[in-house]
């Protein structure tokens, strides 16, 4: 074989290279067209997000650096970090922040415990499972305002059914559940748990139904009781779901507003004054929009930090998998 035959490319290879080169511009054109189509599909969903989420957030951030109020003929001025300096020494706000953390932690943990118990019950072979699951979802389906009014009637010191039941059992029946300093926050926490428990229950129940039945059967054959099956199989299998739902519940509970506002409006004596409720009162009752915006900015930072923890747990769980 000659040297020219070794170095000269064949006609087929030349043709394939030419075809490959001609396809590159076509593929680039197809890729650009697909990106344009994707952008056009995403834009309609981005417009409401920008108008109703991003824009108000940016406006709120800006107002935190002003002395904006709802008073007539007031000329808004830029005051820098004055609102934040004032906020750092506002003992009432930090007291509401502490109450909000107590509320969020208590409701989230109790929701998890109650939801886990109810999910285990619904996952067993009960009669009328569809009906029982419907009852479990009932608190979630009710509007928060309706729930607040209903529980306010239940807690009524004079005509409430709770005090009536306690009286029939020979126990004190004149307790002002929402008006007493020592019972107001626990009473509201109970309602918060009742409202949010269905979501946790359904999420955990869905996770339980994904566990292979063979694992439970093998554990029972080995002589494991219900507690050992739960501790060794059910709980480890639910860890990623527990981390997700607990993080989300904490964020939602920390942002609670309507339920507590209707039930107590932050009373008595600020014992149920959550930070979101405190911010609302500062903005629309005291009319200090700029100062309330500074509070809102700080709470946004807290929520962003909580979201960061949630995403970190999700990333960590995916990495382990």
pLDDT at 172 over 70: yes
Q: Using 50, 70 and 90 to split pLDDT, how confident is the model at 150? A: very high
Over range 169-196, report the average pLDDT.
Answer: 93
* In a domain? residue 194: yes
Q: What is the mean pLDDT of the chain?
A: 85
Taking the C-alpha atoms of residue 207 and residue 241, their distance in angstroms, rounded to an integer, is 7
* In a domain? residue 230: yes
Same domain, 307 and 191: yes
Cα of first residue to Cα of last residue in the chain, in angstroms, is 57
Entry pTM? 0.81
Same domain, 252 and 280: yes
SS3 143: coil
66 has which bridge partners?
A: 78
* In a domain? residue 71: no
Same domain, 48 and 170: no
Specify the CATH number for the domain of residue 287: 1.10.3720.10
For the CA atoms of the chain, what is the radius of gyration? Answer: 29
Same domain, 126 and 247: yes
* In a domain? residue 77: no
Same domain, 101 and 58: no
Same domain, 113 and 189: yes
- Predicted pLDDT of residue 29: 56
- Predicted pLDDT of residue 30: 58
- Predicted pLDDT of residue 6: 44
Same domain, 132 and 187: yes
Q: Range of 13's domain?
A: 3-63
Taking the C-alpha atoms of residue 238 and residue 245, their distance in angstroms, rounded to an integer, is 10
* In a domain? residue 300: yes
Same domain, 133 and 249: yes
* In a domain? residue 75: no
Over range 284-292, report the average pLDDT.
Answer: 93
Same domain, 220 and 116: yes
Same domain, 268 and 222: yes
Of 192, 305, 310, nearest to 256 (Cα)? 192
The per-residue DSSP string of 63-118 comes to HTTB---SSTT----B-TTHHHHHHHT-HHHHHHHHHHHHHHHHHHHHHHHHHHHH
78 has which bridge partners?
A: 66
- Predicted pLDDT of residue 63: 93
Same domain, 42 and 167: no
According to DSSP, residue 2 is labeled -
């Amino acid at each position: 074989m000659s040297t020219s035959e070794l170095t000269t490319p064949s006609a087929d290879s030349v043709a394939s290279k030419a075809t490959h080169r001609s396809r590159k511009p076509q593929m680039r054109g197809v890729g650009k067209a697909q990106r344009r189509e994707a952008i056009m599909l995403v834009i309609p969903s981005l417009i409401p997000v920008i108008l109703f989420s991003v824009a108000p957030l940016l406006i709120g951030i800006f107002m935190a650096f002003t002395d904006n109020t709802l008073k007539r003929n007031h000329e808004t001025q830029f005051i820098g970090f004055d609102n934040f300096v004032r906020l750092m020494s506002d003992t009432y706000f930090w007291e509401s922040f502490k109450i909000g953390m107590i509320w969020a932690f208590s409701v989230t943990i109790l929701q998890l415990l109650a939801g886990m118990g109810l999910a285990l019950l619904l996952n067993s072979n009960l009669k009328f499972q569809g009906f029982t699951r419907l009852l479990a979802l009932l608190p979630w389906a009710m509007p928060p305002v309706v729930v607040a009014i209903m529980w306010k009637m239940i807690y009524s010191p004079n005509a409430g059914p709770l005090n009536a039941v306690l009286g029939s059992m020979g126990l004190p029946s004149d307790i002002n559940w929402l008006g007493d300093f020592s019972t107001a926050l626990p009473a509201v926490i109970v309602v918060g748990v009742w409202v949010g428990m269905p979501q946790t229950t359904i999420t955990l129940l869905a996770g339980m139904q994904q566990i292979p039945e063979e694992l439970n059967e093998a554990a029972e054959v080995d002589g494991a009781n219900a507690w050992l099956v739960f501790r060794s199989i059910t709980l480890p299998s639910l860890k990623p779901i527990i981390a997700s739902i607990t993080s989300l519940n904490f964020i939602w509970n920390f942002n609670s507003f309507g339920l507590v506002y209707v039930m107590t409006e932050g009373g008595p004596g600020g014992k149920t004054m959550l930070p979101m409720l405190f911010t609302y009162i500062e903005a629309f009752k005291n009319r200090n929009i700029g100062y309330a915006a500074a509070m809102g900015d700080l709470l946004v930072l807290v929520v962003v930090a909580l979201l960061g923890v949630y995403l970190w747990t999700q990333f960590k769980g995916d990495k382990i998998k």
